């Protein structure tokens, strides 16, 4: 190996090419590295240039959400976690002489380069493990959001190498750090939405929009096209923005200067929640969709046969204060459902209090009320949210209507972030 070569310009070029997601630029940058960059590793010789190109190829798969490509007889690809883990282990072994079975010490810049590559692979392995949990259908994404956010913040706190190549490796470190910040903020926003925190949600949405723009441009680097992973992050943000609109629609819609602007924004942010509800109501004349928020959710599982506010265990409370309606469509002047409908809905909700909302088949309670000439469908959207669909039904013929139940489940898939989680499923 040629020990007298300054790797700073080479590494700077490589990192910029790496962050731009361009294979051609990465190959071009590697041409600037000396051909003699070989290190003895065990009984064999390892080319550091090969390690660098492997790391980029693994990153390309990561950005394309190819976490675990399907295996075939003629194409046996390893799980991406194992690929990054292998590069991490090689770097770790090369940094420590007693592990690579070679006396002496590597040149400072080579060791520095390996330290940053090892750190990067460590982050990727942690995120891949995290995504495996997120995409698990047995995980309640909404209820687990706080734990997810905390875990990501712990990952962000990992020690970053500080050595002679710091300035050259800085764009790569900033890229992965910003990625973790965005993910942590997304799940933090979900927590805020779950608790109906208006101001905090607005601040988080604004912060995320700025961070996503910064991440997509990679500090004004030229990127060939947004990667599937970048698009996935924006889809996640778009969904949470749509949930914010859903939960605060009755506040925003009446004060909108131009209702058409509201429709434009709904279409732009996410067509799968509010717009889908609007289309359903148009198709079913006389129908309505409402969202209710459990304002007095207890810490213990059993709530009895009514909503009981904290500190009032002996009182049975059923009122719009205890479980307010936060969304109605079509909108009403009072932003509330009719009183007769409200009591039917609250009474029916009791059967959903301890229901697990995210595991299929989800429970949808259908309740026909002959006196009102309506059938009500109730489903638990999140831990503190319930959706009620009321349709005109003279004889109760719609209680088992599959079209209505499919609509409710699709809204539930969106609000529970299930659709977004499916986007992490590996692609071959």
Higher pLDDT, 321 or 422: 422
Question: Mean pLDDT throughout 187-191?
Answer: 97
**pLDDT number for residue 277:** 93
| d(C-alpha 186, C-alpha 195), whole Å | 15
Higher pLDDT, 37 or 376: 376
Query: Is residue 38 predicted with pLDDT exceeding 80?
Result: no
**pLDDT number for residue 70:** 55
Question: Mean pLDDT throughout 144-160?
Answer: 95
CB burial readout 250-287, b (16+ within 10 A) else e: beebeeeeeeeebeeebeebbebbbbbbeebbeebeeb
Question: Mean pLDDT throughout 330-345?
Answer: 83
Of 333-337, 352-356, 403-407, 408-412, give the lowest mean pLDDT range: 333-337
Residue with tokens 């990992």: 158
Query: Is residue 267 predicted with pLDDT exceeding 90?
Result: no
pLDDT band at 40 (very low <50, low <70, confident <90, very high): low
How many helices (H) does the chain have, and how many strands (E)? 16, 7
User: Quick one: tokens of 51?
Assistant: 């390690």
| d(C-alpha 175, C-alpha 156), whole Å | 12
Number of C-beta neighbours around residue 340 at 10 A: 12
Give 61-93 as a DSSP string.
HHHTT-SSPPPBTTB-PPPHHHHHHHHHHHHHH
Three-state SS letters, 157-193: CCCCCCCCCHHHHHHHHHHHHHHHHHHHHHHHHHHHH
Question: Mean pLDDT throughout 204-229?
Answer: 84
- What pLDDT, in 10s, does the model give residues 159-181? 999 998 999 999 999 999 999 99
Higher pLDDT, 118 or 46: 118
Domains present along the chain, CATH in parentheses:
8-243 (no CATH), 256-419 (3.30.450.240)
Burial class (CB in 10 A: 0-12, 13-18, 19+), 64: middle
pLDDT band at 352 (very low <50, low <70, confident <90, very high): confident
Report residue 71: phi and psi, to 5°: -95, 145
- What pLDDT, in 10s, does the model give residues 365-397? 999 999 999 999 999 999 889 999 999 999 999
| d(C-alpha 194, C-alpha 119), whole Å | 34
- Residues contacting residue 125 through CB under 8 Å, at least 6 positions apart: 81, 84, 85, 88
- Check residue 290 and give left, alpha or beta (phi > 0: left; psi -120 to 50: alpha): beta
**pLDDT number for residue 304:** 41
CA 230 to chain centre: 11
Burial class (CB in 10 A: 0-12, 13-18, 19+), 114: buried
Question: Mean pLDDT throughout 409-420?
Answer: 92
**pLDDT number for residue 305:** 35
pLDDT band at 402 (very low <50, low <70, confident <90, very high): very high
- What pLDDT, in 10s, does the model give residues 52-102? 999 999 999 999 998 875 555 455 556 899 999 999 988 887 777 555 444
The answer to whether 145 and 204 are in contact (CB under 8 A) is no
Of 45-54, 229-238, 297-306, 323-332, give the lowest mean pLDDT range: 297-306
Instruction: State the DSSP code for 273.
Output: S
- Relative to beta strand 374-382, strand 385-392 is antiparallel
**pLDDT number for residue 356:** 77
**pLDDT number for residue 186:** 98
Question: Mean pLDDT throughout 224-234?
Answer: 89
**pLDDT number for residue 401:** 96
- What pLDDT, in 10s, does the model give residues 3-36? 456 788 988 999 999 988 888 999 999 888 877 6
For the chain, give the mean pLDDT: 83
**pLDDT number for residue 88:** 92
Three-state SS letters, 40-53: EECCEEEEHHHHHH
**In the chain, % of residues over pLDDT 70:** 78
| d(C-alpha 170, C-alpha 113), whole Å | 12
| d(C-alpha 151, C-alpha 160), whole Å | 17
**pLDDT number for residue 133:** 93
């Amino acid at each position: 190996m040629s020990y007298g070569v300054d790797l700073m310009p080479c590494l700077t070029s490589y990192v910029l090419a790496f962050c731009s997601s361009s294979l051609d630029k990465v190959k071009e940058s590697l041409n600037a590295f000396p051909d003699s960059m070989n290190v003895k590793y065990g009984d064999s010789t390892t080319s550091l240039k090969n390690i660098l190109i492997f790391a980029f190829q693994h990153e390309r798969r990561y950005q394309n959400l190819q976490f675990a490509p399907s295996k075939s007889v003629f194409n046996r690809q390893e799980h991406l976690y194992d690929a990054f883990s292998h590069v991490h282990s090689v770097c770790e072994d090369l940094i420590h002489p007693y592990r690579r079975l070679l006396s002496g010490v590597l040149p400072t810049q080579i060791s520095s380069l390996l330290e940053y590559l090892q750190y990067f692979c460590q982050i990727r392995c942690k995120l891949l493990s995290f995504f495996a949990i997120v995409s698990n259908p047995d995980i309640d994404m909404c209820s687990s959001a706080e734990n997810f956010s905390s875990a990501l913040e712990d990952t962000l706190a990992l020690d970053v190498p500080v050595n002679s190549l710091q300035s050259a490796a800085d764009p790569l470190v900033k890229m992965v750090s910003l990625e973790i910040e965005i993910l942590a903020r997304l799940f933090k926003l979900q927590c805020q939405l779950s608790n109906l925190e208006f101001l905090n949600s607005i601040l988080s949405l604004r912060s995320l929009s700025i961070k996503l723009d910064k991440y997509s441009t990679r500090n004004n680097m030229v990127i060939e096209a947004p990667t599937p992973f970048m698009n996935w992050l924006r889809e996640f943000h778009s969904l949470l923005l749509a949930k914010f609109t859903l939960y605060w629609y009755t506040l925003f819609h009446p004060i909108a200067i131009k209702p058409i602007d509201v429709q434009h924004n709904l279409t732009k942010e996410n067509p799968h929640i509010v717009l889908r509800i609007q289309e359903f109501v148009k198709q079913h004349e006389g129908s309505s969709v409402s969202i209710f928020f459990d304002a007095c959710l207890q810490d213990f599982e059993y709530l009895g046969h009514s909503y009981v506010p904290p500190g009032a265990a002996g009182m049975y409370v059923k009122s719009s204060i205890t479980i307010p309606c936060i969304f109605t469509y079509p909108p009403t002047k009072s932003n509330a459902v009719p009183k007769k409908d409200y009591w039917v809905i609250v009474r029916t909700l009791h059967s959903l209090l301890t229901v697990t909302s995210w595991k299929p088949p989800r429970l949808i309670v259908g309740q026909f009320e002959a006196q009102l000439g309506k059938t009500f469908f109730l489903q638990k959207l999140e831990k503190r949210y319930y959706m009620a669909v009321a349709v005109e039904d003279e004889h109760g013929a719609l209680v088992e209507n599959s079209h209505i139940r499919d609509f409710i489940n699709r809204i539930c898939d969106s609000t529970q972030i299930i659709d977004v989680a499916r986007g992490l499923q590996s692609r071959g």
